[in-house]
Amino acid sequence: MTSTSVHLAVYDTLADWEPGFATAHLTQNGHTVRTVGATTDPVTTMGGMRVRPDLALDDLRPEDSTLLILGGAGLWDTGDSLAPFARTARAFLDAGVPVAAICGATAGLAREGLLDDRTHTSAVSFYLAATGYAGGPHYIDADAVTDSGGASRGALVTAGPTEPVAFAREIFGLLGVYEPKKLDAWYRLFHDSDASAYEVLQG
């Protein structure tokens, strides 16, 4: 892939803190984060921030991206207004471009059938089971999970709502942002407040 653009989906009620670790450190390490909305009209996140998307969903092409990030939002569980984002995730995965979903976005992917045959996680197993999806046997009780996707499908990262740091770690590992020793140090610093990891990360 030659693109360094990572696309962050933005929509009303977005849990804006969930992708924050990932987007901040991707930006600091050579990636451009671009926001994508249903349209280019401003949205208001759960934290009350107004965001004007860089582009509309209809203009987003997998070949122009290295990753699509889908954050949680109240709207994932109150209707189908965010279903187009799940369908876009399918297009990305089918094109071999990875997708990362956290919190309620995992339920959106489950409803789209994208977790039926992939290892994944979420808040709890019964949260996804309530969607009626067929992927229960592939659920892993873990902070975050990466399914490599195989030769013809893009990789998929999933995480529960309390794990934005583990979510970011999986994204960094997938995109090669940090080599393994520094990735471990990054996680220990931001997840465990391990001050000894700072020197490793800066080395």
pLDDT digits (tens, 9 = 90+) for 42-85: 999 999 999 999 999 999 999 999 999 999 999 999 999 999 99
**Residue 163 near residue 170, CB atoms below 8 Å:** no
| Structural domain count, the chain | 1
Q: What is the CATH number of the domain that holds 132?
A: 3.40.50.880
**pLDDT given for residue 2 in this prediction:** 46
Distance CA 120, CA 106 (A): 9
Where is 92: in which H helix or E strand?
helix 83-94
Is residue 187 domain-resident?
no
**Pick from 154, 48, 176: nearest CA to 101:** 154
Tokens of 97: 């471009």
Rounded alpha-carbon distances, angstroms, from residue 203 to 20, 26, 199: 24, 18, 6
**pLDDT given for residue 3 in this prediction:** 65
Burial class (CB in 10 A: 0-12, 13-18, 19+), 96: middle
Is residue 162 domain-resident?
yes
Three-state secondary structure call for residue 116: coil
> Which has more pLDDT, 163 or 150?
163
Domain around 125: 5-178
Distance CA 80, CA 179 (A): 39
Is residue 35 domain-resident?
yes
Specify the residue for token string 């991206």: 65
Strand duo 156-159 + 144-147: pairing? antiparallel
- Cα–chain-centroid distance for residue 30? 18
Residues ≥6 apart with Cβ < 8 Å to 23: 6, 8, 33, 69
**Residue 65 near residue 72, CB atoms below 8 Å:** no
Is residue 24 domain-resident?
yes
Is residue 66 domain-resident?
yes
Of the pLDDT bands very low, low, confident and very high (cuts 50, 70, 90), residue 151 is low
Average of per-residue pLDDT across 167-184: 97
**pLDDT given for residue 163 in this prediction:** 97
Q: Which residues pair with 101 in a beta bridge?
A: 70, 158
Does 30 participate in catalysis according to the annotation?
A: no
Distance CA 42, CA 99 (A): 23
Of the pLDDT bands very low, low, confident and very high (cuts 50, 70, 90), residue 4 is confident
> Which is the catalytic residue, given 103, 115, 159, 165?
103
Is residue 183 domain-resident?
no
Percent of the chain past pLDDT 90, that is, above it, reads 94
Distance CA 100, CA 145 (A): 10
Is residue 13 domain-resident?
yes
